[in-house]
Every structure is written in structure tokens, then in C-alpha cells.
Amino acid sequence: MSHESRTPEARRLQTRQLVRVIALSAATLVVEVAGGLLSGSLALLSDAGHVLTDLLALVLSLMAVRFASLPATPAKSYGYHRLEILTALLNGALLIAISGGILYKAVRRFFDPVPIESSLMLGVAFVGLLANLVGIALLSRAPQNINLRCARMHVVGDALSSVGVLVTGGIIALTGWERLDPLMGGVIALVIAVGSLRLVREAVDVLLEATPSGIDLDGVSRAIATVPGVVEVHDLHIWSITTGLPALSGHVRLDGSHPQTSDEMLNQIKQTVRDRFGIVHTTIQIESCAYQEMGDVH
């Protein structure tokens, strides 16, 4: 993710789009609950439960965006960026739990199908699908980070569920084969689960301070070593404060024979890392060859 997703203007746009999607989801929830009760459709009521859970997740995403914009403090020198990661992890886990619940319900419904009013089911599902498509478009226009992607995944899950209800309702209306409903629900659940697992894995990598994907630690080390006067690079670490915000720390040993000052060489090293790998937040400890003889102190 680019740095633009964390600017004040980006935060305002993210907040505005999330508020709009939350309003759409709340309206969709009311329509689907009413439609499910009137039609007797368990599929619609189950989808409404899905929307309710996603609505809560969207509210969490909005809170994360607001907190992440708060300035750093002496106690929290990195600010509140990690709240985005924690929220994404919670949302991803919630989506996986939802998928498991849908799969369980799909198995039960397959062996014990429930008669439904397909015409009302189709109408309500169509309204829900339109609302979800608008929500996906709104979130796609906002600057992206893992939190926004996770929120969008929730809305995509709702849209897939609405498509499943539409297709199922149409086929049931034409053929009367009610077991298609749980089959479609199971497919939707698997799609949601796979996407959610990717988000959870990315969030866990950030929390474990793993090297960000797309950055080769050895490649960074070799690039630093090409700077004239550098004889060794060690204790190199690269991690993410949040998605799209990598940081680097390391020790660089100089041979002392290069005419540039250590400050000039430090600037060249930082510029190399920034230009070639997009890492702006760097902490480099410069060491002389004589420093090695003083012992392994870091």
C-alpha cells in the first residue's frame, strides 16, 4: 500500500466512504429482516444475520481509521497504526467464523430443506445486491490499506451471498429444487473463507514483524553493500509498522578509506534504500573497522 493511504486527506475519504457503506448496510439489514420474516425464507434471514455481523465489522473498521489518524505520543511513539492491523485480524477471524457457520447451516439445510416464497426472496435479494455493489464501489474509491480491504471483503461477501440468494431463488422458482439453496451457501462460504485467510495471514505477518512481502532482505543488504566504502552489513531488520509503511534498522561497517564523511555515506545509504525499495523509515548505525575490536555490543 502506498503512503497516500495514510495522509489526512486519505483518512477523511476513508471515513466518509465507510460512513456511507455503514448507512447502506444498515438499510439493507432492515430490508432483509423484513423480507425474510414476510417470505418465511431462512436464507434471507441468514443473510440478514451475515449483514448484521458485517455491519459491526464495518463500524470497527471506521473506529480503526479514526484512531490511526491520532498523533504519536511519548508512550506510543509509532502512533496507533497497529489498530488497523488488529481490526483487520479481528474482521478476518470474524469472516472465517461466519463462513464456518454458513457451511454448518448449509449441511443441515441440504438434508432438511425449508420451503420458501421465492418471488419475495428474489426481490429482497436484488435490493441487497444493489446496495452491496454500491458499497463495494464506495470502498474501492477510498485509498486502500489492509483495514479497508478487509472491510471491502465483508461487503463482497454480502454481495456474493445476495447473488447466491438470487440464483437460488430463481432456480427454485423454476424447478422447485430447494436443495440448491444450501449448496450455493456452501460455495459462498468457501469463497469468503479463502479470501479471509489471506487477510489474516497478512495481518499476522505484520504483528510478527516479518519482512514485508515484495522486499528481499538479502537484496537490500546487497544494495547497501554496493555503496562505496561499505565493507559489511549486519543485524539488518525490515518490518512493517502497518501495511505500506515499512521500516528498516541495521549496522553498516565502513572501511574508513573513502573520502566522504560518515554523514555523507549515511545519506547515500538511506537514499539507496529509499529509491530502490521504497523504505523511508530507516535507522542505520555506522561502525568503523576498529569498532569491531571493541566487542559485540549493539
Residues of the chain with pLDDT under 70: 1-7, 40, 42, 144-145, 147, 292-298
User: What's the pLDDT at 293?
Assistant: 64
Fold of the 3-207 domain: Alpha-lytic protease prodomain-like (1.20.1510)
Distances (CA, A) of 263 to 19, 247, 284, 287: 47, 20, 11, 12
User: What's the pLDDT at 215?
Assistant: 95
Residue keyed to cell 430463481: 170
pLDDT tens digit string along 190-239? Answer: 877 887 888 889 889 999 999 999 899 999 999 999 998 899 999 999 99
Which residue spans of the chain are classified as CATH 1.20.1510.10?
Answer: 3-207
pLDDT tens digit string along 120-139? Answer: 888 988 998 999 999 999 88
For the chain, state the CA radius of gyration. Answer: 26
Which residue spans of the chain are classified as CATH 3.30.70.1350?
Answer: 217-292
pTM: 0.74
CA distance 90 to 10: 23
CA neighbor of 185 nearest in space, from 31, 41, 58 = 41
Question: Over 173-227, what HEC string results?
Answer: HHHCCCCHHHHHHHHHHHHHHHHHHHHHHHHHHHHCCCCCCCCCHHHHHHHHHCC
User: What's the pLDDT at 1?
Assistant: 45
CATH of the structural domain 217-292, one choice from 3.40.50.1980, 3.30.720.110, 3.30.70.1350, 2.40.30.10 = 3.30.70.1350
